[in-house]
Structure 1
Amino acid sequence: MKKSTIDNAETAMDEQEKNGLAPDQPDSLEERGSSIPNSQEEENRLASEFVRQIVSLIEEGDNQAVYDMVAPLHPADIAELFAQAPVEIRRPLAAAITDLMSGEVISEMNEWVREDLLKSLTGQEVANIIAQLDLDDAVVIVSELDAQKQQETLQALSSEDRAAIERALSFPLESAGRMMQRNLVAVHENMSVGDVIHYLRQNDDLTTDFWEVFVVDPSHRPIGTCKLSKLLRMPRHALIQDIMQPEQTLIPVTMDQEEVALRFQKYGLISAAVVDESGRLVGMITVDDIIHIIRDEADEDILKLSGAGDGDINEPVLDSYKSRVRWLITNLGTALVASTIIGFFEGTIARMVELATLMPIVAGVGGNAGSQTMAVTVRALATNQLTASNCVRSITRELRIALLNGLTVACVLGAGTWLVFHNVLLTEVIALAIMSNIIIGGLAGVLVPLTFDRAGSDPAVASSIFVTMTTDAMGFLTFLGLATVSGLTGA
Structure 2
Amino acid sequence: MDKREDSLPPDDLPLTDDRESKREAAAREAENELDEDDRLKPEFVRDVLELAEAGEGEAARERIGRLHPADIADLFELARTDERPMLAAVLGDMLSADVLAEMNDYVREELIDLLNPAQVAELAAELDTDDAVAIIEDMEADEQQAVLDAMEPEDRAAIEDALSFPEESAGRLMQRDLVAVPEHVTVGDVIDRLREDTELTSDFWEIYVVDPMHRPVGTCQLSWILRTPRDIAISDVMKREQTLIPVDMDQEEVALRFQKYALISAAVIDRAGRLVGMITVDDVVHIIQEEAGEDILRLSGAGDGDINEPIRETYSARVRWLIANLGTALVASSIVGFFGGAIEQMVALAALMPIVAGVGGNAGTQTLAVTVRALAMNQLTDSNSWRAIWREMKIAILNGTTIALIAGAATALWFANPQLGAVIAAAMVVNIFVAGVAGVAIPLLLDRLDQDPAVASSIFVTMTTDSMGFLAFLGLAVASGLTSMG
TM-score in terms of structure 1 length: 0.92
Conserved 8 A contact 2:342-2:484: no
Question: In 1, Cα distance between the equivalents of 2:403 and 2:30?
Answer: 57
Can you list the C-alpha shifts for 1:149-205, whole angstroms capped at 9, x where unaligned?
Answer: 101100000000000100010001100000000000000000000000000000111
Specify the code of the residue in structure 2 equivalent to 1:339: S
Conserved 8 A contact 2:341-2:484: no
Match of 2:148 in 1: 154
Mapping of 1:87-98 within 5 angstroms?
87-98=81-92
Mapping of 1:6-405 within 5 angstroms?
38-405=32-399
Unaligned runs of 5+ in 1: 1-34
Specify the code of the residue in structure 2 equivalent to 1:324: R
Specify the code of the residue in structure 2 equivalent to 1:112: Y
SS state at 1:274 partner: strand
Conserved 8 A contact 1:191-1:239: yes
Question: In 2, Cα distance between the equivalents of 1:75 and 1:66?
Answer: 15
SS state at 1:226 partner: strand
Question: In 2, Cα distance between the equivalents of 1:36 and 1:487?
Answer: 73
Can you list the C-alpha shifts for 1:395-416, whole angstroms capped at 9, x where unaligned?
Answer: 0000000000000000000110
Conserved 8 A contact 1:37-1:50: no
Conserved 8 A contact 1:37-1:49: no
Between 341-350 and 138-147, the greater mean CA deviation after superposition: 138-147
- Offset at 1:36? 10
SS state at 1:463 partner: helix
Specify the code of the residue in structure 2 equivalent to 1:115: E
Specify the code of the residue in structure 2 equivalent to 1:222: P
Question: In 2, Cα distance between the equivalents of 1:193 and 1:98?
Answer: 46
- Offset at 1:490? 5.7
Mapping of 1:417-456 within 5 angstroms?
417-456=411-450
SS state at 1:73 partner: coil
Conserved 8 A contact 1:36-1:69: no
Conserved 8 A contact 2:32-2:44: yes
Q: CA RMSD in A?
A: 1.0
Match of 1:22 in 2: none
- Aligned sequence identity (%): 62
SS state at 2:333 partner: helix
Conserved 8 A contact 2:412-2:419: no
CA change 1:490–1:350 in 2 (3 A) is same
TM-score in terms of structure 2 length: 0.93
Question: In 2, Cα distance between the equivalents of 1:189 and 1:98?
Answer: 47
Question: In 1, Cα distance between the equivalents of 2:373 and 2:204?
Answer: 33
Can you list the C-alpha shifts for 1:425-447, whole angstroms capped at 9, x where unaligned?
Answer: 11110000011000000011001
Specify the code of the residue in structure 2 equivalent to 1:102: S
Match of 1:471 in 2: 465
Runs of at least 4 residues off by over 3 Å: none
How many residues are aligned here? 457
Question: In 1, Cα distance between the equivalents of 2:209 and 2:43?
Answer: 52
Specify the code of the residue in structure 2 equivalent to 1:68: E
Question: In 2, Cα distance between the equivalents of 1:202 and 1:247?
Answer: 29
